[in-house]
Chain A
Amino acid sequence: MLNNPKWITYLLIFIVLLFIPRILSMHDLMLFEYGITFAIVGMGFNLLLGYTGLLSFGHGAYFAAGAYTVAMIAKYLPQAYSLELLIPAALFFSMLLSLIFGFVCVRHTKIFFSILALSLSMLLFSLLFKLYHITGGSDGLRVPLPTILGISFKGIRRPEFLLGTYYYVLLGMFTVSFLVMKGIVSSPFGKALQAIRDNEVRAELIGIRVRRYRLYAFVISGMFVGLGGALWTFVNGHVTADLSHWVFSGEIVYMTLLGGFGIFEGPIIGAFLFTFLKLYAMGHTEYWMFVIGATLIILVLLLPDGIAGAFSTLWSKIRKKSY
C-alpha cells in the first residue's frame, strides 16, 4: 500500500489534517467541520451518482434521517444521548429509510429515478413539516452536546467543544468512511456497480442482479449520507425540516458535481469548496443564490468534470508533454 504514491499523499494529507485546529482560526475551523461532514455525504452520494450512474435529487431525506435521529433522541430519550449510541442509531434509521424509499426508486433509472427520489424526499419533508408538535416543524429542534464515552460536556460552550474533542471525532469518522468507501468501490461489488452503470444489459447478461445491486448501492449511499447528517447536527446545533427539502438535496448534487463525480476524491474536494463558496457568497451579498446558481451554470457549461476532473485532465496533459 505504501509504495503507491496515492496512498502516501493520503497519509500526508491525514497528518496535515491532524494539525488543522492549530492552523485555522475559530471561524474557519467551524466551516472546515461543516466541510468534513459534507465530504462524508458527498462520498456516499457519489457511490450512487458516479459509480452506479443514478442521479438522486432526494438525498436530503437520508441526511435528515440521520440528523433527526440525533435530534429526536435528544428530545425524547435523553438518557441514551451519547455519541456511541447516536451514530449506530442514525446509521440504522437512515438505512431503514433508504431501504424503503430505495425499494421504490430502483425500479426506475434516469429521469424517472431522479423525480421519484425527489418526490419521496418531499414526502419526508411534508411529514417533518406538518407534524410540528413532534418534529418542531419549520422551527426545528435544538441539538445539545452529546456525551462521548461517558464524558459529559455540560457547561462547555459549543465552540470549545467543536474546537477540541469533536474535531478529532469528525476526523476519525471521516477517515473510517473514506477507507470503507474506498474498499467498497474497489471491491467486486463496486466493480459490478460500475458495470451496471456502463451497460445495464451486459451486466444483467453476465449474471449481475441489477436491481438488487442498485438497491444495495442506494442503501449504502443513504447510510453514508445519514452519518454525515448526524455528525453535522452537532456542528450546527439545530435541525429543521428544510434538510429534507429537495433544494437541499440539490446542494448535495451541486457539491458532488463541483468537485467532479468521475473521481473518487472529487466530491470530497467539492464539499469543502461548496461550504466555503456558499459562506463567502452569503457573507458578501444578499443575492447569494444568484452567485451559487451562476457558478453552477458556468460549471455545467464549461467544466463538466468538476474542479478535480479539470485538474486531473490538466495533469495528464502536462505529463504527456514531458515525455
Chain B
Amino acid sequence: MWMIYTLNGFYFAALLFLISLGLNIILGVMGILNLAHGSLYAIGAFIAAWIIINLGTKVPSIFLYLSLLSGLIGVGIVGYFMEKSLIRFMYKRALEYQLLLTFGALMLLEDVIKMVWGGEAYYASAPFLLLGSVNMGRHVYPAYFLLVMFIAVIGGLLIWLFMAKTKLGIMLRAISLDREMATGLGLDIDRLSTFAFVLGAGLAGLAGALVVPTTPALLGFGHEPLILGFIVVVVGGLGSLKGALVGSLLVGFTRSFGIAVFPEIELPLLFLIAGIILVVKPQGLFGR
C-alpha cells in the first residue's frame, strides 16, 4: 500500500507544481499575487473537458491527449487578455489594490464559467480510461497518473531550461530581481510582463486540463488548488522556482499520507506543517 501512497504523493505534487510554478512566475516577475489563479485552472479544466466530450470516441486517441494541451493554449489566451485589460494597470499600485483587483477578477471569472458552461458537471474520463493501469508487483496503478507526472517533469525541466539558458528567461529573471534596474537597462517591461502572465496562466490551465480526466469539472473547481498553491508558495518561498518544487513535494506527500493515515484532519495537518515551517523559517524554505 505504501507504494501507492508514495506514487499518489508524486501525482499530487506534479499537479501542484504546475499550479504553483505559474503563481510563482507571476509573483516573481510582476510582484502580483494572482487570486484568480484558481479560476484560470478551472477554465483550463472546462475547456479541455468540453473538447474531449465533443471529440467523442471516434477520433484516434492521440487527439484526446493532444486536446489536454488546449488548457495550456486556451487559458494562455485568456491570460493575455486579462493582462492587457486589467493587470497592466496594477504594476505601480499598492498591494491592496493588486489583491483586490485579482479578487474581483476571480468573482468575474467564476460567473463567466457559469455563463459559458452552465452549472452542470463535465465528465471527460476518456483519456484516463483508455490508458488503463500498470501492474506494479502486488498493486495496479492508473497509467494516466504516471503520464501526468511525466508531463509535469517535462514541463518543469523546460521551464528551468528556459529560465536558466534562454535570453528571454534571463530577462524575466532580471525583472524579478530588480524591476527598476531592468527598466533602466532598456528591457521592454510591458511585453515581458504580458509574456510572464500568459506563461503563468497557461501553466494553471494545463494543470486544470490534466486533472479533468480524473474528476469532473464543476463550479468552484479552482478553490482548493488555489489554497494549496498558496501553501506551496509560502512554504517554498515567494517567487522561488526551487521552492515551488520542494513545496509541492512536501504538500503532495503530506496530503497523500494524510489522507491515508488521518483522513479527517488531512488539510489541518497540512496547515500545521506549513505554520511550523513559517515560524522556524519565516521567509519560506528558499525565500530571499
Residue of A nearest to B103 (CB): A250
Chain B residues with CB below 8 A from A55, complex form: 95-96, 99
Contact of B227 among A111, A116, A119, A253 (CB under 8 A): A119
- Smallest beta-carbon distance B31→chain A, Å: 8
Q: How many residues of A contact B (CB 8 A)?
A: 42
**B274 at the A interface (CB under 8 A):** yes
- SS of B interface (majority): helix
Contact of B111 among A49, A108, A115, A287 (CB under 8 A): A287
Chain B residues with CB below 8 A from A289, complex form: 107-108, 110-111
**B89 at the A interface (CB under 8 A):** yes
Q: Which of A15-23, A26-34, A143-151, A292-300 lies at the interface with chain B?
A: A292-300
- Smallest beta-carbon distance A273→chain B, Å: 15
Question: Which residues of A39-81 have CB atoms within 8 Å of chain B's CB atoms?
Answer: 49, 55, 57
Q: How many residues of B contact A (CB 8 A)?
A: 44
A120 B100 Cβ-Cβ under 8 A: no
Chain A residues with CB below 8 A from B264, complex form: 130-131
Q: Which of B1-9, B12-20, B193-201, B265-273 lies at the interface with chain A?
A: B265-273
A119 B108 Cβ-Cβ under 8 A: no
Chain B residues with CB below 8 A from A272, complex form: none
- SS of A interface (majority): helix
A61 to B112 alpha-carbon distance, docked (Å): 28
A297 to B97 alpha-carbon distance, docked (Å): 9
A290 B95 Cβ-Cβ under 8 A: no
- Smallest beta-carbon distance B40→chain A, Å: 14
B275 A123 Cβ-Cβ under 8 A: yes
Chain A residues with CB below 8 A from B238, complex form: 111-112
A104 to B231 alpha-carbon distance, docked (Å): 15
**B33 at the A interface (CB under 8 A):** yes
Chain A residues with CB below 8 A from B114, complex form: 286-287
Ranked 9 nearest A-B pairs via Cβ: A293-B107, A296-B104, A293-B108, A290-B111, A123-B271, A126-B267, A297-B104, A289-B107, A287-B111
A-B contact pairs, 16 of them (CB 8 A): A55-B96, A57-B99, A104-B279, A111-B99, A111-B238, A112-B234, A112-B238, A114-B99, A120-B271, A127-B265, A127-B268, A253-B100, A289-B107, A290-B108, A297-B105, A300-B97
